[in-house]
């Protein structure tokens, strides 16, 4: 997905506005140019499902060593926001992966997606699943884990075609989809 398409498809009214991040830091990140461009143009949603938030970053990109006084080991991890469980959502510069760091659990790292582009596509697909579930099962469909089985399976199938690794093993997304089981 290109960044302009993502911006046009993202339903800010239903899913929150998009945040633009610090252009100067994006420019010096050691990630590929497509992901830099996506980050520059599209950004990330403020508070997308499943209970993520990127408002706390205030659009700044700081490495975890500076932001949270973590060891130098985390100088290549860039703070994006948090999960509902309080894990830190980061861009891991060496690989371009999006990962969560659980500081309450010895800084355990959980894989989210292989890039910022894949992450944004997952957020979009997940938000679309929720909107469709609400149409079918009412306003509390997501809160009540009342996602129709066919919709759930179609979403998982779509996500696997976008970033298969994010849907295998003990990943963030696998944990999220276990909630619906």
pLDDT at residue 179 in the model:
82
How many whole angstroms from its chain centre is CA 31?
Answer: 17
pLDDT along the chain (181 residues), means of 10: 94 89 89 93 93 87 86 92 94 95 92 97 96 95 93 97 96 92 68
pLDDT at residue 21 in the model:
87
pLDDT at residue 16 in the model:
86
Rg (CA), the chain: 16
CATH topology of domain 3-115: SMI1/KNR4-like (3.40.1580)
The whole-model pTM stands at 0.94
**Cβ neighbours of residue 79 under 8 Å, at least 6 residues apart?**
57, 60, 61, 62, 63, 64, 67, 68, 88, 89, 90
**CA dihedral over 39, 158, 15, 63, signed as positive or negative:** negative
- Listed by start position, the domains of the chain span 3-115, 118-178
Backbone angles phi, psi at 112, to 5 degrees: -110, -65
pLDDT at residue 57 in the model:
80
């Amino acid at each position: 997905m290109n960044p302009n398409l993502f911006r046009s498809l993202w339903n800010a009214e239903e899913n929150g506005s998009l945040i633009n991040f610090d252009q100067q830091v994006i420019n010096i990140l050691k990630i590929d140019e497509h992901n830099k461009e996506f980050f520059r143009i599209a950004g990330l949603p403020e508070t997308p499902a499943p209970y993520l938030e990127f408002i706390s970053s205030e659009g700044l990109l700081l490495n975890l060593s500076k932001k949270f006084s973590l060891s130098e080991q985390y100088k290549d991890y860039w703070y994006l926001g948090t999960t509902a469980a309080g894990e830190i959502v980061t861009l891991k510069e060496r690989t371009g992966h999006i990962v969560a760091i659980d500081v309450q659990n010895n800084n355990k790292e959980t894989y989210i997606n292989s890039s910022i582009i894949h992450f944004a596509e997952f957020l979009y697909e997940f938000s679309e699943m929720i909107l469709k579930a609400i149409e079918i099962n009412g306003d509390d469909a997501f809160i009540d884990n009342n996602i129709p089985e066919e919709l759930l399976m179609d979403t998982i199938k779509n996500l696997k075609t976008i970033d298969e690794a994010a849907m295998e093993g003990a990943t963030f997304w696998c944990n999220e989809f276990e909630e619906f089981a």
